[in-house]
Structure 1
Amino acid sequence: MARYFEVHPDNPQPRTIRQVVDLVRDGGLIAYPTDSCFALGCQLGNRAGLDRIRKIRQLDERHHFTLVCHDFAQLGQFVHISNSVFRMVKACTPGSYTFILPATPEVPRKLMHPRKRTVGVRIPRHTVAQALVAELGEPLMSSTLILPEENEPMTRGDDIREHLDHALDVILDAGECGIEPTTVVDLSQSEPVVLRRGAGDPSPFE
């Protein structure tokens, strides 16, 4: 049964954030709010957590997982980013975008796309998500919380508890969050490619 925590959306209680992060460090799988919608998250390198996310969402090995980062200094440890790409990403972050970029050796092999050696990265605007990754001190390995039989992501903590209480260790609820997943942009090639239209405006990359 998942532990259920409620925090203020703009001023999350530091003690609660620390409790959640301690559970992440202990191998926990969490559902947490972002500026696009709820996401599933676990610690980088948590293979069991990664497999649990795959099972919940019924994902194959080609799925791009996302490293949710606190800032550009953290992001730069995990992806190769040229000056021109940096300017494009900088103009749209923090925000509701996921960028696909070539992974550095810091990224666990199991997280990378098996052929392209790429990984998704993002810097969220949501205060609670920012507080989590700041306290953790490293990115959260994440995936949008969309159940296999659904077309829309989950956006309410009580709905997540009803459907996934048995499958998660923590549900962190800060009230209503975004209702659309991120816009996904592949920046690993010479030209940007919008892979998914979502909450972020795709026009700068088209």
Structure 2
Amino acid sequence: MAKYFDVHPDNPQRRVIGQVVEIIRSGGLVVYPTDSCFALGCHPGNKEGLDRIREIRRLDDRHHFTLVCRDFAQLGQFSRMDNAVFRTVRAATPGSYTFILPATSEAPRRMLHPKKRTVGVRIPDHTVAQALLAELDEPLLSSTLLLPGEEEPLTIGWDIKERLDHAVDAVLDSGDCGTEPTTVVDFSDGVAEVVRRGAGDPEIFE
């Protein structure tokens, strides 16, 4: 049965954030809010957590998972960028964008695209997500909470808790955080290609 945590959207209680982080560190899978919508997240080294996300969302091995990072330094630890891409990505972060970039050797192999060796990375502009990342001091391996056969992600924390009660270990709720996933920009060939239009303004990459 999943634990349910309700925190203030602007001043999340550190004690509660710490409890959620302990669940993540002990191998748990959590649902947490971002600046686009709710996401599933686990520790980057948690193979079972990754498999559980695949099962919940019915994803194949070509799906790009995302490393949700606290800041740009952390993002640069797991992805490679030339100077032009660096400037473009930096100007759009934090924000509702996911960037597909060539992975460094530090990126978890199991989450890379099997052929392109690329990784999805992002920095959320969301107080609770940032509090969680600061306490964890590591990225979260994440995927949008979009269930199979549904057109929009789930938006109500308590409803998520009831529907995924035996599939996740915790739900962190700070109120409605929207239904539109991130805009995804692929820089794997060094040139911006918008592959999904979402919450972030895609025009700056077109």
Provide the rounded CA distance (Å) in 1 between the counterparts of 2:3 and 2:33: 15
d(CA) in 2 for partners of 1:19, 1:159: 21
Residues 59-110 of structure 1 deviation map (CA, whole Å, 9 limit, x = unaligned):
0000000000000111111001111111111111111000000111111111
Q: Which amino acid aligns with 1:3?
A: K
Q: Structure 1 counterpart of 2:113, which letter?
A: H
Partner of 2:13 in structure 1?
A: 13
Amino acid at match of 2:179: I
**Distance apart, 1:190 and its partner CA:** 3.0
Inter-partner Cα distance in structure 2 for 1:32 and 1:108:
21
Q: State yes or no: 1:65 paired with 2:62.
A: no
Q: Give 1:178-189 correspondences, 5 Å limit.
A: 178-189=178-189
Q: How does 1:95-174 map to 2 (within 5 A)?
A: 95-174=95-174
Q: Which residue of 1 aligns with 2:88?
A: 88
In 2, the alpha carbon distance for the partners of 1:22 and 1:7 equals 16
Report the CA distance between 1:156 and its aligned residue: 1.2
Q: CA deviation at 1:162?
A: 2.0
Unaligned 5+ segments in structure 2 are none
Aligned equivalents of 1:191, 1:102: Cα separation in 2:
12
Q: Whole-Å Cα distance in 1 between the matches of residues 108 and 137 of structure 2? A: 17
Matching residue of 2:197:
197
- 1:43 to partner: Cα distance: 0.2
The alpha carbon displacement at 1:159 in A equals 1.6
Structure 1 runs of 4+ off > 3 angstroms? none
**1:56 aligns to what?**
56
TM-score using structure 1 length = 0.98
Partner Cα distance (2:129, 2:190) in 1: 31
What's the offset of the Cα at 1:161? 1.2
Give the 3-state SS of the residue equivalent to 2:17 in structure 1.
helix
Q: Write the letter of the residue equivalent to 2:63.
A: H
Structure 1, unmatched stretches of 5+, are none
Counterpart of 1:98, as a letter, is T
How far apart are 1:178 and its partner, in Å?
2.1
Cα-Cα RMSD = 0.7
Pair 1:44-2:44 in alignment: yes
Code of the aligned partner of 1:169? D
Amino acid at match of 1:93: T
Give the CA deviation at 1:143: 0.2
SS at match of 2:39: strand
Identity %: 71
- Aligned positions, number: 206
Query: Hey, what's the Cα distance between the residues in 2 that align with 1:202 and 1:146?
Result: 21
Cα distance in 1 for residues equivalent to 2:151 and 2:119: 23
Task: State TM-score, norm by structure 2.
Answer: 0.98
